[in-house]
Structure 1
Amino acid sequence: MTAVGSDTMMSESEELRCGARKKLKPYVRLNLLTKREHEKDKCELCERIGSLMCRNCQVTFYCGMEHYTLDKDIHVVLCSRVKELRKPIEFNSQAQTRERWLKQRRIRMEELYKFTWTRGQAHLEEGKYDSAIPAATVSIKYANELFGQAPEVIPPLLITAECYLQKGKLKVADGFLARALSIEATWTDIRPFIKARIRRNEGLIHLARNKLSDALECFAEEIYQSTEEFGPYHIRTSGGYCYLGHVFHLQGRYETSTSLFRQTVKIWIDHLEPILEEMNHQSYLPFIAGALKTETDRVWMEDPDKFEGLRLLTKCYIQQLETPTSHATALDHATTCYAISIMNYICERYNEAKAKAAEGQARILQGSLMKNTINSKLHHVIRFCDKKLFQLEKTTAQSSETSISE
């Protein structure tokens, strides 16, 4: 059984080569009356008969305009790969040749499975639920074909469940969670982190039903399972602390919730500060076989981690603002602003990073904490942002001059 990982299988540049910048040609509307029942193809996102066909790959079908439109963003990236994947394997009398082709097809399908669920996770963390659902749905489809009812199906199931939960469709979310729980019950070798994600999903559903005690148990179990795999101070353990703090905050137990928010922020700062320093003090890094990898080519952090970090830190900041000042101090606010500003910087959102750092400095001033080390760190972030913004402005100006001269 292949272990489920969180590494994105295609880089941004690879996506572009797969056609992310290309526009799909208009769909083809099929005449279903000319086809026999067994010849009719199923919709990419559901089990209904496909009446529309992608004109580019001619192997992807949709039941109507709604699903065609929903899947368009992810399919434009996968179109050429899907066409290659679903091309019939030619007959060959040599068993070794046929086995090699089947193995290559499985490898391609595994890449698409991992890419689609990772993309779905990124969209979920970014709050783009209508984009996350098609990506996760396609990933479920590949996972079922590759592994059957195995643990690999759980991550996209949980993405879909949480998306529907965030959209207020609790019954639909329950259905996807139930499928994940069914798989968990039949397998004994599921990764602790996958179990942690299941517990988070359960906890969020309990929160939606205002069952705070049940939610506390789920988020505590999430922390335990994440710690089993990554340790207590890893960014993928921090989500449990944040959601646990959220429940304590709802219960009015501000001392405990503030402590958990501080722990969440500290974990992210400890992870982000080395990246910030490396991004600003090394223009290039040694790579395999003596090659050089420039800063623009370097993946400093995977998209799902970036967006989850922003979501968790923003949640901490909002909750701290709603906490009495006797528990959440100006220093807490400034420290969280610092963490959010670094995360925005790593996401190349330099204006947002600068604004959040300036907000942190205002909190420092409000609390008369000018000599605190956070103040100087916030100043460094602003300086880094100014440098990046100047470079971008200069590049834009040079491009404009080149266009005019041509």
Structure 2
Amino acid sequence: MSAPDSTAHFHALLQFRRRKAARPAAAAETTGLGRIIQAEEYLSQAQCTVLKSTECSNATHSLLHRNLGLLYIAKKNYEEARYHLANDIYFASCAFGTEDIRTSGGYFHLANIFYDLNKLDLADTLYTKVSEIWHKYLDNHYQVLSKDRIQQIDLLGRHFVNDTGLDEAQEAEAIRILTSVLNIRESTSARAPQKTIFVLKTLVMLYHLMNSSKAKEYATRALNLAREQLDVQEQTGIEELLSLISTEEDLPVT
């Protein structure tokens, strides 16, 4: 059996405690300073474990630094938060690549810091990067599913159920990140409507792959915004997407 402070044990424990430690700001709103102190004590112990270990993976380092970054955001210590999120991005990039959805969380939280500090150009750049990472992942995943569906569809016209390729926690993170970016985009949509449409279309893909009726809702919102902007090309693309969603919903599922 592995030692209690082994890398595998630590990583599993950190994942298990992620909901408590990863969102200290939300916890602070409901239970006050005590919850932040509790998270800080736990993360301090976790950090000591990582520093003592010579076997911790880049993914584990990334997870620890992300949690520490979120803790310091809750404490409004943005300098420390930026330091840890920069390390999160570095280690996640080493583990998964700079354009991976598992790296995007670090960009997102760093963007939130810049947004709160009113450094809007920096925040905008990072929000755009996050949106593009998720759009690329979802689009690529959908293309793979579509190819498989075309190859495997039977004579009865039945089709295979969509899926995101994500686990439950990743789906929840995708929804939280993309809806947060959308809220920010919509607050400034008069200046950059195309960026709002882009996030809406990304949410359409996400919810469509989750087999959720919200896909149509977001597609309709994107279409209305495209019409307001008199963007015929964008309108056509979204109308085709809506038609595709409706067609797939009408097919019997295997």
The residue aligned with 2:160 is 295
Which amino acid letter does the alignment assign opposite residue 158 of structure 1? Answer: R
- Which structure has more helix as a fraction of its residues? 2
The corresponding residue for 2:62 is: 196
Instruction: For 1:366, give the aligned amino acid.
Output: E
Give the C-alpha shift of residue 388 in structure 1.
3.6
Change (3 A) 1:297 1:367: closer
Map of 1:368 onto structure 2: 230
Asked if 1 retains the 8 angstrom alpha-carbon contact of 2:23 and 2:71, the reply is no
Q: Which moved more, 1:375-384 or 1:330-339?
A: 375-384
Q: Normalising to structure 2: TM-score of the pair?
A: 0.82
Residue 169 of structure 2 is matched in structure 1 by 304
Q: Is 2:11 the partner of 1:151?
A: no
| More moved, 269-278 vs 250-259 | 269-278
3-state DSSP class of the match of 2:231?
coil
- Structure 2 gap ranges (5+): 29-34, 153-158
The structure 2 residue matched to 1:219, chosen from 70, 85, 101, is 85
Instruction: Write the distance in 2 (CA, Å) between the matches of 1:324 and 1:218.
Output: 31
| Structure having the higher Rg | 1
- Cα contact 2:111–2:127 (8 A) shared by 1: yes
**In 2, are the aligned partners of 1:165 and 1:173 still within 8 Å (CA)?**
no
Matched residue SS, 1:238:
helix
Say which SS state the counterpart of residue 230 (structure 2) adopts: coil
Alpha-carbon distance in structure 1 between the residues aligned to 2:206 and 2:125: 21
Q: Deviations over 1:317-352 (max 9, x none)?
A: 1222334744xx000000000111111111111x10
Shift, 1:284, TM fit:
7.3
Q: Which protein has greater RCO, CA pairs closer than 8 Å, 6+ apart?
A: 2
Normalized against structure 1, the TM-score is what?
Answer: 0.53
The reply to whether residue 353 of structure 1 matches residue 230 of structure 2 is no
Q: Which residue of 1 aligns with 2:108?
A: 242
1:282 aligns with 2:148: yes
Deviation by residue 1:375-398 (Cα, 9 ceiling, x = unmatched): 444333322321243347x99xxx
Where structure 1 has 5 or more consecutive residues not aligned to the other structure, the ranges are: 1-144, 287-293, 396-406
* Structure 1 counterpart of 2:238: 378
Q: What is the alpha-carbon distance in structure 2 between the residues aligned to residue 150 and residue 159 of structure 1? A: 21
1:202 is paired with a residue whose SS is helix
Match of 1:262 among 128, 132, 135: 128
Distance 1:187 1:198 in 2: 13
TM-aligned CA distance change 1:376 to 1:234, over 3 Å:
farther
Distance change >3 Å, CA 225–CA 314, structure 1 → 2:
same
Q: Cα–Cα, structure 1 residues 161 and 300, in superposed 2: closer, same or farther, change >3 Å?
A: closer
Gap change, CA 1:361 and 1:298, over 3 Å in 2: closer
Do the aligned partners of residues 163 and 255 (structure 1) sit closer, same or farther apart at CA in structure 2, a change above 3 Å counting?
closer
- Pair 1:147–1:389, CA change in 2 (3 A): farther
Query: Whole-Å Cα distance in 2 between the matches of residues 300 and 235 of structure 1?
Result: 12
Q: How does 1:82-121 map to 2 (within 5 A)?
A: none
| Mapping of residues 4-15 of structure 1, within 5 Å | none
Kindly provide the CA deviation profile for residues 34-72 of structure 1, in whole angstroms up to 9, marking residues without a partner as x.
xxxxxxxxxxxxxxxxxxxxxxxxxxxxxxxxxxxxxxx
C-alpha root-mean-square deviation of aligned residues, in Å? 2.7
Displacement of 1:268 in angstroms is 1.0
Contact 2:23 2:70 in 1 (8 A): no
Question: For 2:121, what is the secondary structure of its paired residue?
Answer: helix
Change (3 A) 1:253 1:366: farther
Partner of 1:271: 137
| Aligned: 1:320 with 2:185 | yes
Partner residue, 2:44? 178
Letter in 2 for 1:234: D
Q: Is the contact made by 1:193 and 1:226 (CA closer than 8 Å) also made in structure 2?
A: yes
Distance in 2, matches of 1:298 and 1:386, equals: 17
Whether contact under 8 Å (1:158, 1:180) holds in the other structure is no
- Identity percentage of aligned residues: 16
Q: In 2, are the aligned partners of 1:249 and 1:319 still within 8 Å (CA)?
A: no
Partner Cα separation in structure 2 for residue 239 and residue 300 of structure 1: 17
Q: Is 1:229 the counterpart of 2:95 in the alignment?
A: yes
2:201 to 322, 335, 338: 338
* Mapped partners of 1:187, 1:270: distance in 2: 35
Q: 1:298 to 1:361 in 2, by over 3 A?
A: closer
- Alpha-carbon separation, structure 1, partners of 2:229 and 2:209: 28
| Count of residue pairs brought into register by the alignment | 238
Say if 1:235 and 1:271, in contact at 8 Å, map to a contact too. Answer: yes
